[in-house]
Structure 1
Amino acid sequence: MRLERRDGDDATVTLAARATLPEGPLRLCYRTRTGALLRVDGAVRGAFDGKHEAIDLPPLEGERELSLRVERRSLPISALPAGDGVRWRWMLARAEQTPDDHLEVEQRNGASDGAAVDVPLIGHAHLDVAWLWTYDETKRKALRTFATALREMELDDRYVFAQSMPQLYAWVRAGDPALFERVRERAASARGWDASVASMWVESDLHAPSGESILRQFALGIAWTREHLGRDPSVAWLPDTFGFPSTFPTLAVHAGIPYFFSTKLAWNEATRWPHPQFRWTGDDGSTLLAAMALSYGGDITAERETQARARNEPLIHGYGDGGGGATDEQLASVARASRPWTHADTWFAALDARALPEVRGELYLETHRGTYTTHHDVKERNAALERELAHAEELAAWCVAVRAPRTVRRALADDLRAAWEIVLRAQFHDVITGTAIPPVYADVAEEHARAAAIVARVRESAASLLPRSDVRAAAAAAVRPQRDGETWLLRNEYVQARLRDDGTVVELAGADGVNVVALANGLAAYEDKPKRYDAWNVDDGYWRKQVPVKPDGGSADESGIEARFALPKSKLAMRIALHEDEPWLRVEIAAAWHDDRVLLRAEHRVAVAARDVRYGQPHGTLVRNAYPQTDAERAKFEVPAQRWAHASDGAHGLAVFSPDCYGWNGTGLDGGGVRLGTSLLRSPRWPDPGADRGEQRIAYALVPTAGAAISALEHAWLAYVEDARVRLFTCDDPAVVVVATYPSRDGEAVVVRVRELDGAARAVALRCGGRMRTATAIDAAERPLPNAGEARIVEEALHFELGAFALRSFLIAF
């Protein structure tokens, strides 16, 4: 039939026609490289794309109105490239098309039965929230993907389709409420639609987001899925995330999630991940039942069936990256007599956990090491928003504690949730990592600005209700540099630093006078041309080809020392300062960064007999060997970390603090000690040729230590990055830190969360500035934990037991 144009906009064209359809089951054919959403009498009934040119429908006798909403421009849904080149340019050239105005409709014959399948099958369509397309394009992709999955399970009641990310569901709900209602009905009754995997708001990166952000991914995702889909999700479904910190079991279990699924370690370059299924245990003893499958999509082939059978894993089928899902041909290839489809949580529940190996520590991905650094500006704004949200949440919690009007409390809680949705969305694993196209980052910059405005409004509203809402301490005065021969001397009662004119530190000592560096604060640049995945990868051996960083003058004034540098196309200004009453040397860099495919690093030679380095992780820490002995250890030449890194021999050491840098390394030196480095900026060309270019600001601090405990480092880092404020909850035990204080979802109570830092169980007395009435132990999703152990309110303190490296959360009513 010939379709007529009805309307259109810059992104889509709507074509439609009325026709009397043939009797019996139907097959519709429409050729499009982009994508088209099919409606029959106004209701969504399916979708077309490059992999779905023919779709089957049940009988639709009589005259009907058929319409197609056709994308003007779109990339293929799968088989997308690893970098710039002929294939990528060819895809771009073919991305735009004039919509075909012909739709073929025919009577469908009975299909021949397929082959028997004896491995579990899970239908899937991986859909990146943003990558080589924007949020707006993803909203349309999600409608088409959901429409395809619904159509197929309505035709074949055996079919099971797993879809994660409540953010996608929320977009579909807003875009077509009737389509979403059909999804909700099937998800709630577990009839084909598997929402057990919809536990995190998006499939997040796990290296740059803070531990609190990861818990909020779970909290928001679980709450949305329970409310709108009628399911309690139980699987952390992260098939494509770029590596997993050692603390993830603690975080997931604290959110009430028992299962974890990924495929990403199949990408390892140096070693083969040995365990298809395993028990992954965190430092606090929390354990996830984990699966590391070979892939998250593709055809149902004999080879894939054989692999899945040998590995005792489900075969995930369907096309994805840009959505799409399984085809009718894939489903028809499975004999109707066999019923291999399964829900993800059902498959996990059937595993014998006792027979599986235990794994501790991180699941390090031996590729994509550049994602810790690319697009520093996005990472910087994310980190700043995390800190600003923490402050605003605590002010709003104070409003709950002093019983501000209910309407005000609820409004503050709603605003905070809206800001978190924006922040969490931008933590998607192809956004915060710096691996998306330029229009994505234009959208993210606008959204981050909107989130910042919401947070500012919360702070102002909350502060206006409180008699004393903040501490306003005067900024510490800077120490005046003293010239001492060829060097500059900076000294207070905690730190003595001696620097050259180019900003390199030749002496850094704490109060005991022991110098802990051979040479620190050196800037180094390297040619950074990975073979594949430009924005993603830093290749082994990058350090062999340096790019000159030339001193370009310097000066000193009353507040510090400034050193300037020139690269082939970039200019840097570094300011080094020591403030009174601070036990660290501050470094700030203003960069006009314009070099292509160059990696900028700050490097420090630590002159103590350290053999390893302890790094910050999301709500925890991890020790990595600086003198690698195995291929797996040697592959960790660039590692993810957050907040700080510390090289120490137990008596003395150097810590480097950073608010928003996430790529590090710690390498043993031939003569002993460790070269500790932080990656500051990169400048890849694809998929965003402007990544990191322009004005950038970077800050870090050098901290001499004398056998500092984890708790000392964590509290010092907090003092470095946060302004002082009046805390609603405090604890005298330095090994216990309050990591979050915020209003509950309904604004009627306060959630307080604490973490044990030094690895020993302890009895905690948590003092509160408000009058507590009740305290309930909860998980990160605000669900009560009846067997979590006693918590007693005694006068102004909450008393409870806290395990080594454990997290605990409480819901406090006032």
Structure 2
Amino acid sequence: MHDDRKLVEARLERVLNERVRPAVHPATTPLTVEIWSTADEPVPVAEGLAAPTRPIAPGTPWGAPWGTSWFKVTGEVPPEWAGRTVEAVLDLGFTPRAPGFQCEGLVYEPDGTPVKGLHPRNTHVRVGAPAVGGERIHWRVEAASNPDLEAGGVPFQPTRLGDKSTAGDAPQYVLGDMALAVFDETVWNLVMDLEVVGELMAELPVDGARRWELLRAVGRALDAIDTQDVNGTARAAREALAEVLAAPASPAAHRISAVGHAHIDSAWLWPLRETVRKVARTTSNMTKLIEDEPDFVFAMSQAQQFAWIKEHRPEVYAKVKEAVAAGRFVPAGGMWVESDTNMPGSEAMARQFVHGKRFFLDEFGIENDEAWLPDTFGFAAGLPQIIKAAGSHRLLTQKISWSTTNSFPHHTFDWEGIDGTRIFTHFPPVDSYNCELTGAQLAHAARNFKEKGVARRSLAPVGYGDGGGGTTREMVAKAARLRSLEGAPTVRWESPTAFFERAEAEYPDPPVWVGELYLELHRATLTSQAQTKRGNRRSESLLTEAELWAATAAVRAGAPYPYEELDRIWKTVLLHQFHDILPGSSIAWVHREARATYARVAEELEGIIGGAQRALAGAGGTRELVFNSAPHTRRGVPAGGASAAADEGGVDPAPRDGGGYVLDNGLLRVEIDARGLVVSAYDRAADREAIAPGQAANLLQLHPDFPNQWDAWDVDAFYRNTSSDLTEVAALDVEGTSVRIVRTFGGSRVSQLLSVPKDAKRLDIDTEVDWHETERFLKLAFPLDVKADRYASETQYGHVYRPTHQNTSWEWAKFEACNHRFVHVDEPGWGVAIVNDATYGHDVTRAVRTRADAGTTTTVRASLLRAPRYPDPETDQGVHRFHHALVPGATVGDAVREGYRANLPERRVTGAAAEVAPLVGVDNDAVVVSAVKLADDRSGDLVVRLYEANGARARATIRVDGFAADRAALTDLLERPLPGAERPTPADAGVALTLRPFQMVTLRLPRA
């Protein structure tokens, strides 16, 4: 037998491309096209439908960057096409690039009824099957000329097209052919047959019998095709393939549950407003595909995206609701958006599920069992508890397959979080959340699946995504052929719930992964776009304050509780935690708008907080009260109290020998040298120095930052090979009770204020950077005289430990990681905390001082700023402010307290009251109150959420000042009673709780 394999494969490719695919539409007739372009932003549908138009011919440029044009498309089906299937083929000027990254369109009937979306892999609109001849076509197409940001086909290059204000007005596209066409279904099915057989053939062993069976069948099919009459011979060609396509799969074949999918980034290389339209286009296509394909099931996550089409495209939403009711269009995931999970704070992460699940319950009566996060950049170790507390117990993601150092050892497993909660987790081995059901993808899924021998089932999200598009009829046709096909995995359309139920049943005792799911990629997203990150942190803190004081004012003073305002603001903040907004990986337009949004959010929340505090302080008085929102402050005031103001200034700096200054409050002695660096931070009570011998803290270090790819996303380990210590001083002066240090470097300027409070063992560092660098990485270093093999980083409802050493590749890969308000390092009996008010990225390294005292230096560095040029060429240019504090002698509990203090500063209000007693009190500092609010159902019940923060068992009594708390109930995050949970133990008009390490609890306390 001679090897004609390569000849057949080459022949197949050419015949398909040059003869068979073109024959799908054997006859065409042009449509008449006219255009109207908006002068600015998109207009309502009714306005676009009624707009005056002018003629436009194929080959004409159209569409300024981010513009909108309305095409009027008219024509008539020729009478001679009667009895044949007819569809329009509408080419807006598509390029070969994938959907979602170029122009797109949504077709409307003249009355505003949506027909379907258009993108480069989905250009058809069905007219008649069969047509009767003479049908009149009259459509309007809302077309978006979104620019292709990979200019010239070179990915990730700086571009001014990422903001409408800098993009110019040059046309981005050239109108293609707009025509009516006869659709030859037999030829189209032949294309599908040949693609499936050819792709399967390419993945099978060269010397395997099945591959040769397919090869011979393809040869016979190609022999049957008359290349001069494909339409007349297509049926015979299909018959030549029928036998090999009918051969069933092996019972041992890998089983793939396919779910229709269109991962739509809520913002990324397009602004938020464009995502509204992307969702409308995609869902229009998916509801149409559901009508046409009885087995097809589509899943869409992100309640925000459903809410957008409900508000902006009600005609599309009506079709979605109908498909949801039929069980074919599945709301998935139960979150407001597919958020980042590393940086959102405890309450924000919880509210992602509260608002997402509540929307799906209210709109559809559906509650999801799974979290759905295919593209999120790693997963914080506190997440399993939050998912379970929201009433779910499963997670799907795919992004961990992008790790570049270590291959994750499982595809199906139980994930255990910091408190011991486990959730059933699946990573699709197809390694794509945009699967097209190609033979290569399916073969990869089967080969790649790490649970072979104990399980045989995986999930494949099928459809074009990132910029949307969804599943196509071609993908559905492939799935039908792959339902049971020898040599291939079996493919079956299923909902996420159906997949998880089957997967759990076949694998009841999966392996366990403990701790965070760290993505070994995209580490720089913890630092990029610093103002977006500051806006998020400040918004989270202000929301904590607003709920606390509004609830206190409602209970104490009868003030109205701002339900609508808080609900709306929470949703705005949650939206901006989307995994390309908060991480800083979106275009300039997105972050420009985010900065403005955060400013509005802050202004509104300040108004809510101020109004509530004034109501509590009382009118007409002159007493100054200090309102403190931070739990367990050093003054012993639990969260939600106010007391008389006291002088809490800092200590006066004293000159230091050799230049510099000393700050000493009797608890902590800090020496600042002539370079403005901290060379000593001496804990007097412990008789212990915090700074490593011969080194200096408050050291700004500048690195080159030019990763191999993904500028805004990545920082590569080699950045550490080159570093510049910023030690030159432009000014070093006393300013009140602080020391002012000014430095200049490159085109940038740094100004710092260092101070020590009178009665706290803490060095406060306030840094202002006027940043004008490019492709540089700025760090703030603290070399500490601490021997620590691990360190603690705050995460949701607790902290996670990471190693300081690099014994394995897994440890080495965590060279940049996430913390919330604190990092804590210690050795038995003594530790140091570094707290912050706005940063997330950091690194911790260790070194042994062999030439001096053989001691160990553990260096903590906070990541301040980057300067990537893609997708925003002006990333972080301008003024930034950061607050950090060095806390020697700190326990983890001290780190928790100081972290809250740095993010929830005291507020001073003048009024008549002598004091305001805390609404909620806890008698154990290890138990932290993270939220005090009124119940979302407007019953007036008080809701208190708290958690054990030290990582140990704790007993605590929670008391409410104002009404008895002895009827408290344990609830889930949606404030529903936990099934089977006992009521908390009453104790002296309070509630006694016993908490396991890092356990989070939600209490609902009726006021009636």
Match of 1:163 among 300, 303, 306: 300
**Residue 811 of structure 1 aligns to which amino acid in structure 2?**
R
After superposition, the C-alpha distances for 1:214-265 in whole angstroms (9 at most, x for unaligned) are 1011111111111113211222111111111111111211111211111111
Aligned partner of 2:952 in structure 1 is: 760
Corresponding residue for 1:790?
A: 983
Tell me what 2:230 maps to: none
Q: Deviations over 1:404-460 (max 9, x none)?
A: 37xx33xx0110011111111111111111111111112112221222232133224
Higher mean alpha-carbon deviation, 77-86 vs 8-17, is at 77-86
Question: In the superposition, relative to structure 1, how do residues 811 and 501 fare at CA in structure 2: closer, same or farther (>3 Å)?
Answer: same
Bigger mean CA offset, 586-595 vs 53-62: 53-62
Out of 565-574 and 56-65, give the one that drifted further.
56-65
Counterpart Cα distance in 2 of 1:260 and 1:269: 22
Aligned to 1:728: 919
Does the CA contact (< 8 Å) of 1:504 and 1:521 recur in 2? yes
Counterpart amino acid of residue 525 in structure 2: T
Give runs of aligned pairs for residues 422-433 of structure 1, distance below 5 A. Answer: 422-433=572-583
Is the CA contact (8 Å cut-off) linking 1:281 and 1:359 kept in structure 2?
A: yes
- Cα distance in 1 for partners of 2:826, 2:278 equals 50
Distance 1:621 1:612 in 2: 12
Q: Which residue number in structure 2 is paired with residue 27 of structure 1?
A: 87
Counterpart residue number, 1:483:
655
DSSP 3-state at the match of 1:564: strand
The change in CA–CA distance for 1:336 and 1:637 in structure 2 (over 3 A counts) is closer
Preserved CA contact (<8 Å) 2:699 2:780: yes
Pairing 1:401-412 to 2, within 5 Å after superposition: 401-402=555-556, 404=558, 408-409=560-561, 412=562
1:23-62 to structure 2, matched below 5 A, reads: 26-32=86-92, 33=94, 34-41=103-110, 42-56=112-126, 59=129, 62=135
- Please identify, of 536-545 and 19-28, the stretch whose mean Cα deviation from structure 2 is larger: 19-28
Q: Confirm whether residue 676 of structure 1 aligns to residue 860 of structure 2.
A: yes
Which letter maps to 1:44? P
Partners of 2:933 and 2:32 in 1: CA distance? 58
Aligned 1:249-328 pairs, distance under 5 A: 249-293=384-428, 294-310=431-447, 311=449, 312-328=457-473
Letter in 2 for 1:744: A
Contact 1:602/1:680, CA 8 A, preserved across alignment: yes
SS of 1:75 mapped into structure 2: coil
Matches within 5 A, 1:75-224: 75=148, 82-84=155-157, 96-99=172-175, 102-106=178-182, 109=185, 112=189, 119-190=256-327, 192-197=328-333, 199-224=334-359
CA distance in 2, matches of 1:5, 1:377: 40
**Paired residues of 2:712 and 2:871 also in contact (CA < 8 A):** yes
Specify the alignment match of 1:68 in structure 2: 141
- Counterpart code for 1:67: R
**1:6–1:14 CA contact under 8 A, matched in 2:** yes
The count of residues paired between Structure 1 and Structure 2 equals 804
Task: From 346, 361, 368, give the equivalent of 1:233.
Answer: 368
**SS across alignment from 1:314:** strand
Distance 1:759 1:636 in 2: 22
**Cα distance, 1:376 vs. partner?**
0.9
**Deviation of residue 586 (structure 1)?**
0.4
What CA distance in whole angstroms lies between the structure 2 residues aligned with 1:103 and 1:459?
60
- Unaligned residue ranges in structure 1 (runs of 5+): none
Deviation at 1:87, TM superposition (A): 14
**C-alpha displacement at 1:623, in angstroms?**
1.2
Which residue of the other structure, out of 13, 19, 25, is the alignment partner of 2:69?
Answer: 13
1:725-752 Cα shifts (integer Å, max 9, x gaps): 7542110111100011112223322221
The residue identity in structure 2 corresponding to 1:83 is F
| Offset, 1:474 | 4.2
Q: Compute the displacement of 1:80 (Å).
A: 9.1
Deviation at 1:79, TM superposition (A): 13
Question: 1:376–1:692: 8 Å Cα contact kept in structure 2?
Answer: yes
1:45 partner SS: strand
Q: Tell me, in whole angstroms, the C-alpha distance in 2 between the residues paired with 1:23 and 1:446.
A: 57
Against the structure 1 CA distance between its residues 86 and 499, is the aligned structure 2 distance closer, same or farther, given a 3 Å change threshold?
closer
Asked if 1:799 is matched to 2:935, the reply is no
1:395 to 515, 525, 549: 549
Q: Which amino acid aligns with 2:813?
A: A
1:586 aligns with 2:774: no
The correspondence of residues 664-703 of structure 1 with structure 2, limited to 5 A, is 664-671=842-849, 672-703=856-887
Flag the 1:478–1:699 CA change in 2: closer, same or farther, 3 A: same
| Matched letter for residue 478 of structure 1 | G
| TM-score, L = length of structure 1 | 0.93
Cα separation, partners in 2 of 1:793 and 1:770, compared to 1, 3 Å: farther
Q: Which residue of 2 aligns with 1:386?
A: 540
Q: Distance in 1 between matches of 2:678 and 2:149?
A: 52
Distance 1:264 1:373, change over 3 A: same
Larger deviation, residues 226-235 vs 732-741: 226-235
Secondary structure at the counterpart of residue 595 of structure 2: helix
AA partner of residue 782 (structure 2): H
**Partner in structure 1 of residue 679 of structure 2:** 506
Which residue pairs with 2:616 in the alignment?
A: 466
> In the TM superposition, what are the counterparts of 1:401-800 in structure 2 within 5 Å?
401-402=555-556, 404=558, 408-409=560-561, 412-466=562-616, 470=627, 471=642, 473-474=645-646, 476-486=648-658, 487-510=660-683, 511-518=685-692, 519-547=696-724, 549=726, 550-671=728-849, 672-705=856-889, 708=891, 710-724=892-906, 727-748=918-939, 749-772=941-964, 774-800=967-993
Q: CA deviation at 1:78?
A: 14
- Following superposition, the deviation at residue 611 of structure 1 comes to 1.7
What do the CA deviations read for 1:755-805 (whole angstroms, capped 9, x no partner)?
Answer: 012233333310112214742221112222122332244453123332221
How many Å separate the matches in 1 of 2:716 and 2:785? 28
Q: Could you tell me how far apart the structure 2 residues matched to 1:58 and 1:646 are? A: 68
Q: Would the alpha carbon gap of residues 31 and 695 (structure 1) be closer, same or farther in structure 2, given more than 3 Å must change?
A: same
Q: Is the 8 Å Cα contact of residues 836 and 902 (structure 2) preserved in structure 1?
A: no
Distance 1:200 1:640, change over 3 A: same
Shift of 1:323: 0.5
Give the conservation status (yes or no) of the 8 Å contact 1:200–1:236.
yes
CA distance in 2, matches of 1:320, 1:13: 23
In structure 2, C-alpha distance between the alignment counterparts of 1:523 and 1:6, rounded to whole Å: 55
Supply the distance in 2 between the matched residues of 1:80 and 1:261 (Cα, whole angstroms).
Answer: 32
Q: C-alpha offsets along residues 351-405 of structure 1, whole Å, 9 cap, x if unaligned?
A: 2353311000111111111111111111111111111111110112124424837
Residue of 29, 33, 40 corresponding to 1:3 = 33
> Counterpart of 2:518 in 1: which secondary structure?
coil
> In structure 2, what residue type is equivalent to 1:732?
D
Q: Which has the larger radius of gyration?
A: 2
Contact 2:798 2:950 survives alignment (8 Å): no
Amino acid at match of 1:543: R
- Amino acid corresponding to residue 603 of structure 1 in structure 2: A
Mapped contact 2:159–2:871 kept (Cα < 8 A)? no
What's 2:11 paired with? Answer: none
Opposite residue 796 of structure 1, the aligned amino acid is: A
- Letter matched to residue 686 of structure 2: D
Distance in 2, matches of 1:735 and 1:23, equals 77
Residues 72-99 of structure 1: CA deviation (Å, up to 9, x unaligned): 334399999752179999xx99982255
Identity %: 26
* Inter-CA distance 87–727: structure 2 relative to 1 (3 Å threshold): closer
CA distance in 2, matches of 1:454, 1:747: 21
